[in-house]
């Protein structure tokens, strides 16, 4: 992340949005002490809403280079904010992602944090099924390639509000990068008041570095991270229930 991007990130997320989110949406974060003061790490979070990276950015002091679905770079205002904040586009095809993945690796090797959402974007277009979907393994490849610790994270909301009319408007814009698998009847999820961000301890993957990075191993590691994320989500749900 360049200097001007860090400035935009801090001005927008920490100075402008943080007080609004904490007061207006009762946003609270725990486990912030698990974020390293310096050096590389890869934060892997749940993804129930497109607002997740904004919420995490508001609470975590260090600027994070988030990955975001490439079609969102076609949305007016958002695309400009993403570029100014150093967000990296993630495409649906592996070949097109080569440049983005190389950039992630370069950033991590420079000691800069990267943020990923291993479930992909489909999870915030439907409130049905498991709250934490199966993780894709791309983030594991990046973590192993750069010897980066993975920090599990969960964003939990007291209320998830479907807003189908918003999705309808997005579909009408006909974004060139919109994944073909998206169902136009799915509902975009927004969070109501009462949001918790739970951040776990860094997961050291050094015991896997010397092994062959087979598909089975990558799935194993992704599943291990997912289980930690699920624990954090459940902790957030319990905290919100106690407050009722």
Report residue 101 CA to chain centroid gap. Answer: 15
Confidence (pLDDT) at 174: 45
Confidence (pLDDT) at 165: 58
Closest CA to 155 of 93, 87, 66: 66
For residue 56, is pLDDT > 70?
A: yes
Among 33-47, 85-99, 103-117, 200-214, which is the least confidently predicted range?
85-99
Higher per-residue confidence, 45 vs 3: 45
When the pLDDT of each residue in the chain is averaged and rounded to a whole number, the result is 85
Confidence (pLDDT) at 143: 97
Confidence (pLDDT) at 125: 63
For residue 53, is pLDDT > 80?
A: yes
pTM of the full structure: 0.88
For residue 225, is pLDDT > 60?
A: yes
Mean per-residue pLDDT for 91-95? Answer: 67
Q: How do residues 96-130 score in pLDDT, each as one tens digit? A: 778 888 899 999 999 999 999 999 876 766 666 67
Which listed CATH number (3.90.1150.10, 3.40.1130.10, 3.50.50.60, 3.40.80.10) goes with 3-242?
A: 3.40.1130.10
Closest CA to 177 of 66, 81, 97, 84: 97
- SS3 state of residue 44: strand
Long-range CB pairs of 145-149, under 8 A, 24+ apart, other chains included? 145/105, 146/40, 146/42, 146/105, 146/108, 146/109, 147/205, 147/206, 147/209, 148/40, 148/41, 148/42, 148/108, 148/114, 149/36, 149/40, 149/41, 149/42, 149/202, 149/203, 149/204, 149/205
Q: How do residues 133-188 score in pLDDT, each as one tens digit? A: 999 999 999 999 999 999 999 999 998 876 655 555 555 554 445 555 555 555 66
Please count the other Cβ atoms lying within 10 Å of the Cβ belonging to residue 4: 10
């Amino acid at each position: 992340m360049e200097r001007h991007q860090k400035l935009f990130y801090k001005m927008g997320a920490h100075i402008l949005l943080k007080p609004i989110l904490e007061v207006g949406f009762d946003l609270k974060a725990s486990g912030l002490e698990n974020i390293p003061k310096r050096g590389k790490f890869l934060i892997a979070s749940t993804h129930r809403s497109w607002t997740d990276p904004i919420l995490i950015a508001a609470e975590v002091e260090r600027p994070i280079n988030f990955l975001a679905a490439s079609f969102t770079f076609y949305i007016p205002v958002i695309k400009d904010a993403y570029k100014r904040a150093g967000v990296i586009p993630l495409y649906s095809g592996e070949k097109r992602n080569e440049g983005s993945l190389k950039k992630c690796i370069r950033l991590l090797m420079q000691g800069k944090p990267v943020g990923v959402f291993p479930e992909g974007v489909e999870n915030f277009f439907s409130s049905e099924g498991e709250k934490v979907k199966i993780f894709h393994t791309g983030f594991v490849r990046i973590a192993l390639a750069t010897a980066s610790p993975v920090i599990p994270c969960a964003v939990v909301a007291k209320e998830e509000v479907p807003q189908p009319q918003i999705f309808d408007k997005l579909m009408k814009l006909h974004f060139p990068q919109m994944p073909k698998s998206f169902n136009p009847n799915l509902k975009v999820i927004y969070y109501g008041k009462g949001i918790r961000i739970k951040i776990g301890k860094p997961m050291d993957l050094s015991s896997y570095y010397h092994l062959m990075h087979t598909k089975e191993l990558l799935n194993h590691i992704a599943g291990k991270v997912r289980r930690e994320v699920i624990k954090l989500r459940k902790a957030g749900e319990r905290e919100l229930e106690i407050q009722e």
